[in-house]
Chain A
């Protein structure tokens, strides 16, 4: 089983897509390559698909009298390899599968994959720091809420959501759900949704799926804002600026841990320290602060002042607590 194989590659997929279209024009070829390939695919692939006078093309498409192209093959079936079926077998036994398929469909899926084993057997992998209070993915109410929100996203429909806030208060608001967000660390789903109030879409909320008590369709449809726009609005105003030293392999650990963030890194060649600007979702500021503090004295938060002030306050409280305790052993 090869994971890095041309049969899963972009070139094969583009040829397959064009063949499925039947008769295509040169413009179609260009368009499909642009949609399915990388930025430079258009420089390399067209001349292998379009018939060339010197025969240097693959010969899989033939030019017709009217200038269009037709494939030499009649069918390009989408058969699954063993690698793909084993991956499917893994998701068929994941507790989250019931969020997407009803019980009968789950059984049909499992039955169709009964002759293969999951690509990653459960006991071959161990999540060392995943939180132990993940969502109850198989709970019937949770599944119903998930299905209702997913349907609303596809239909671009406003839904009335009853939500339990952190303080325990129940809120009932109109939302346009935009996307699901899954966290491996938390083992839970959240929903990005724009609140609808006074006849228009307003701020974006992030709702914990586990705290949703009810979802009701309204039959009212609204065009969603682009996700990029939503993220831009949620982005921190100023990036965190941190200095990370080489001590205890700090720079390496930091750069790996924060590889999932938008960032800009520079390095002081004299000391080896890394100076990093880090952009994050403003709502996640506390999480970012906690993650930065995990590095201890090998990392210093330089700015912005508001973020540094929070670190200063926590360190001040820590110092006071330790002085209060006065441990014998230091």
Chain B
């Protein structure tokens, strides 16, 4: 293959490019296609195979179906508290108040929600939910389609995109962002996985909707495709990442396999037990018990295991007990969980408990954006935007999840902010906003790493470097963290950097070359891992999902703020948290107990 440059690749031009065909990407593209803009969704897998398809429990939103008195302000309170007070309150307010509109839109598009007896959308209790600002007990606020809500949502969005005429570049892989001399984003270079053909995809607005990067850890609930491609591209282009130390470990990943078991199991009445059969969450969270925040439950599980009360031969997991709910409830409300448990744990939850362990699940951090999806750059005020660049969904950090996401808030984030970004981009482009053209050498620059990989004749093997990276992250940046361990992790990553820059692409073929895809995915994973490591080491406190043994307390004086990682200098700055919601008074930081 000859060296790629701007003159030997073709250009495909659109108004808007959406990189990623999951829930957030397809909600954005749907809005844009409806507005008549020429929109392309670039997805490395067929869109309905994106990771949104694996979301189980539901979409949390105060639609007042289970409880006619339910109020979006209560949902907002829960989300602020869940975030351990570093969620931006203007964004959380927007998500919770606009949420019902977004959920009813999905219902009208045809999403097959489960129903109550009187025909309304079924809502189940989830962790961290309360009525009356934490004073009214457990709420039931998560709208569900059995335990396959993400599957139903993703297919609904795909069908509606087809209806509205979105263009799909299916099985196209975006390699790097193209920036012009004004540092505006003008599109991406990408290749068709099927044919190997490389193209410059040019657009007035580029939306990163590439999801999370749970594959930086060796044990994760995430799909094999969750490699943080958008964030990797952004970091390579010098664009900052926010709150990267905040990774959610889901309490119930299936022991050994890592597959997710929804929090809805505990919402429906299931609970965790240790080797003595004790319902241990009663000790750690006397009120919310098994429905405390995910970070709280995950840490409690790890403590049980560390103190010798784990289950199994190696006492290295705990059990999720569901059999008391009965076969009828399990088959009607949690059919997918029953199947997954039989397949991956050889356990039928109707009779036996499921072995579970906290497993990497969700990236609270990402490319910092405002509620319109506009990406921030590093500047003196930290409030200037990068023209042409947007981010939505798990790839973005709006930030509505802060230091810990509540269950069911992810799907809501996707549809609310996908829609918001679509609305904003439409307005901006129709009122003349846009970006200048890129020069030839700008495009050539974006092809550099792909050329280097294509021309490699020796170097490091993708699969072994990936394993090494995942082990470092698993060992040094897990549920509990410690400064001296993390320093070892950071220096191990510095050694891996050299390998990442010198990968050997063994397969040079054009058609369906997944060796090439995996090599670039690994480079993206590395960028995310490095940002995570440096941010984790430098946040010297414990907050939400970031739990340090050497700094066990929350430090509001120094760290009631976002961390802002600058990839150019590999240093950590700070950004103010928004405490200025528009319709309600701000919720001031309080001690967080469940």
A binds B: no
